């Protein structure tokens, strides 16, 4: 981590507002755009020891508002997901899911305990099947049952939204996804952009470095179409802009992986490959500590973690994407370090440029 010549006092407290909890990094699907395509590790559920440590740790946090059950795995695939929902229902609880495992008992517990749910739908019919490997009919049936359970139990929550990861493969199908959302009373669609995890996907991105008139027009038509259908859409950036903002940092958020490691965000939670505007990069997991060895608050208040948050919040790191030297720079090949000495580096982060959007 870069050493600063001044005092860092950024969020040194017992106040964590939001936690992403990765109950498992396993999944029941094998999607073509998944992070796990470049993983070299085995997949695991969170052990009972790690889970109980997490439950103990969050009781010490004043002001914790929201817990997101998500991460890289499928949370509804976790063996003890019903218990986790019951244990965590006192918090604002959100689930990110592929929606293929929404069966009766789980649906009842979700309606009882959960405030919001984001379901990944990257197209309809063959578009969906090409990416997810299964039929969208299963997801549609689960959403219908969930909406019926809300009515039966006279509950307005969970609020349902869909997430669409846009690429050259599926952008022609975005209107049909909005129709799908409207038909199932999902009033919001979050549109994110593809992070290529494999060489074969590197040229499937829609966003560009320079002004992107074509994608602007697509988003303009998408927004208008959604408004006519009564759907709110959240849109990613079309091209590289000056502003950088990390929602993980600004929302006072941390991330706990399935083995108990505490990381800053989705991006640095696992080792994997990504392609940033065609450039191959090795993303390296960066853990600030493990909740089996230290308390979550102690890890949060470590000098290294404080300093990381301060640097990212104040944009005290370089921008590789529009650097004149990017093509010949060895530092851009991994997230280990950048030319300012920041370790790890966020200089190529697609989230901070609002190309990638998380719920």
In tens, the pLDDT along 301-332 reads: 999 999 999 999 999 999 999 999 999 999 99
- pLDDT greater than 70 at residue 337: yes
Tell me the mean pLDDT in the region 292-307.
96
The model's confidence at residue 6, banded by pLDDT at 50, 70 and 90, is very low
- pLDDT greater than 90 at residue 8: no
Domain 18-332 has CATH 1.10.10.10: no
Exposure class string for 293-302: b at 16+ Cβ within 10 A, else e: eeebbebbeb
- pLDDT greater than 50 at residue 5: no
* 75 Cβ neighbours under 8 A, 6+ residues apart: 23, 24, 69, 81, 84, 95, 96, 97
Exposure class string for 12-26: b at 16+ Cβ within 10 A, else e: eeeebebbbbbbbbb
DSSP secondary structure string for all residues of 231-242: -EEE---SB--S
- Could you read off the pLDDT of 47-63 as tens digits, one per residue? 999 999 999 999 999 99
Task: State the average pLDDT for the chain.
Answer: 93
Report the chain's terminal Cα–Cα distance, integer Å.
28
Tell me the mean pLDDT in the region 237-248.
96
Q: What is the pLDDT of residue 30?
A: 85
Cα–Cα dist 226/231, whole Å: 5
Within 10 angstroms of residue 68's Cβ, the number of other Cβ atoms is: 23
- pLDDT greater than 60 at residue 255: yes
- Could you read off the pLDDT of 94-137 as tens digits, one per residue? 999 999 999 999 999 999 999 999 999 999 999 999 999 999 99
* 152 Cβ neighbours under 8 A, 6+ residues apart: none
Report the share of the chain in percent with pLDDT over 70. 95
- pLDDT greater than 90 at residue 15: no
The model's confidence at residue 34, banded by pLDDT at 50, 70 and 90, is confident
- pLDDT greater than 50 at residue 285: yes
Report the share of the chain in percent with pLDDT over 90. 88
Q: What is the pLDDT of residue 31?
A: 86
């Amino acid at each position: 981590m870069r050493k600063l010549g001044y005092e860092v006092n950024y969020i040194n407290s017992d106040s964590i507002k939001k936690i992403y909890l990765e109950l498992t990094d396993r999944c029941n699907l094998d999607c073509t755009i998944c992070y796990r395509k470049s993983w070299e590790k085995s997949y695991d559920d969170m052990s009972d020891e790690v889970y109980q440590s997490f439950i103990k740790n969050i009781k010490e946090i004043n002001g914790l508002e929201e817990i997101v059950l998500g991460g890289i795995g499928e949370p509804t695939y976790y063996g003890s997901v019903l218990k986790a929902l019951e244990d965590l229902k006192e918090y604002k609880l959100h689930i990110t899911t592929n929606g293929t495992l929404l069966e009766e008992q789980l649906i009842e517990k979700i309606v009882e305990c959960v405030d919001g749910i984001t379901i990944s739908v990257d197209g309809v019919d063959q578009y969906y099947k090409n990416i997810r490997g299964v039929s969208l009919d299963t997801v549609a049936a689960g959403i219908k049952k969930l909406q019926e359970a809300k009515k039966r139990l006279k509950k307005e929550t969970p609020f349902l939204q869909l997430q669409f990861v846009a690429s050259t493969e599926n952008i022609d199908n975005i209107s049909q996804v909005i129709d799908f959302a409207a038909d199932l009373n999902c009033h919001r669609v979050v549109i994110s952009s593809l992070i290529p995890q494999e060489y074969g996907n590197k040229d499937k991105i829609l966003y560009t470095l320079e002004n992107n008139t074509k994608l602007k027009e697509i988003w303009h038509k998408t927004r208008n179409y959604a408004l006519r259908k009564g759907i709110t859409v959240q849109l990613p950036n079309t091209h590289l802009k000056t502003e950088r903002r990390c929602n993980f940092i600004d929302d006072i958020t941390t991330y706990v992986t399935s083995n108990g490691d505490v990381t800053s965000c989705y991006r640095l939670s696992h080792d994997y490959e990504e392609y940033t505007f065609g450039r191959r990069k090795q993303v390296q997991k960066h853990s600030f500590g493990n909740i089996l060895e230290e308390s979550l608050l102690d890890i949060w208040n470590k000098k290294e973690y404080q300093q990381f948050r301060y640097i990212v919040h104040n944009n005290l790191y370089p921008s590789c994407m529009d650097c004149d030297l990017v093509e010949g720079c060895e530092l851009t090949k991994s997230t280990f370090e950048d030319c300012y000495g920041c370790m790890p580096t966020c200089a190529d982060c697609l989230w901070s440029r609002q190309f990638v959007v998380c719920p």
